[in-house]
Structure 1
């Protein structure tokens, strides 16, 4: 079993929306072979709670406007550390960078096939580590 065309369409639009709001490390997995409740997961992260919320809002707005899709469930928004948007066909996880490292969802789904994403989304890979290194250098008094 593989993700449906609709799921791929939703994942692609969500990934582009997240990239447009400067999400870090966007990746998508086809989980249809291991889960019966959804076809695909999209993971994205941001270095602060405000940006997590901005990414979530953009994903939700874009999927509604472009594809007429509304999430059936939205969780975690109050804290802004890990927000989950459940569209049944796909689930979007937007995490604060610290939660992304701690929970390491990629490790759980690494055996599932990756779904191809738009170039803008692929370009976000490694941005979380770059940001963390810059923050560490600034904390040590190095150049910003």
Structure 2
């Protein structure tokens, strides 16, 4: 899996656990350390743990990917999952505001989600095709 797909998958997995303000930054032109940052906010310690666990367990179980390194514990306000080409930052609101990674890496290009076709539209399209 290429690094952009991995970053987008990490964003989706964080969003599965209702992470807030999830952002993906393309830092390839700015850093030799990694290609993408995924930054997600959790509202409480259990929420931070749930987001990090969703990412690590699903990548391990479904894609045989494990972080090269992890930083932060289940009681910290900031957890880092290092997948080499993608570094995932899961932090609480105060920590995210204090360290302002988006501001620090302000020259990084944000990776915007593509518009997805909703299931309702897909069902409508299939129904319309069947009637023709």
State the Cα deviation string for residues 13-40 of structure 1 (Å, max 9, x = none). Answer: 1111100101000001111111111100
Report the Cα distance in structure 2 between the residues aligned to 1:54 and 1:118, rounded to whole angstroms: 25
Give the corresponding residue for 1:134.
none
Give the corresponding residue for 1:126.
none
Q: CA deviation at 1:62?
A: 1.8
Q: 1:60 to 1:119 in 2, by over 3 A?
A: farther
Query: How big is the alpha-carbon RMSD for the aligned residues of Structure 1 and Structure 2?
Result: 1.7
Give the corresponding residue for 1:95.
91
Give the corresponding residue for 1:131.
none
Q: CA deviation at 1:98?
A: 1.0
**Maintained 8 Å contact 2:49/2:74:** no
Report the Cα distance in structure 2 between the residues aligned to 1:23 and 1:81, rounded to whole angstroms: 14
Secondary structure at the counterpart of residue 53 of structure 1: helix
Q: After the TM superposition, which segments of 4 or more aligned residues of structure 1 sit over 6 Å from their partners?
A: none
- Structure 1 gaps of 5+ residues are 121-144
TM-score of the pair, normalised by structure 1: 0.75
Q: Between Structure 1 and Structure 2, how many residues are aligned?
A: 116
Q: 1:9 to 1:34 in 2, by over 3 A?
A: same
State the Cα deviation string for residues 55-93 of structure 1 (Å, max 9, x = none). Answer: 000011122233221101011124231000000010000
Give the corresponding residue for 1:35.
31
Report the Cα distance in structure 2 between the residues aligned to 1:119 and 1:86, rounded to whole angstroms: 28
**Maintained 8 Å contact 1:53/1:80:** no
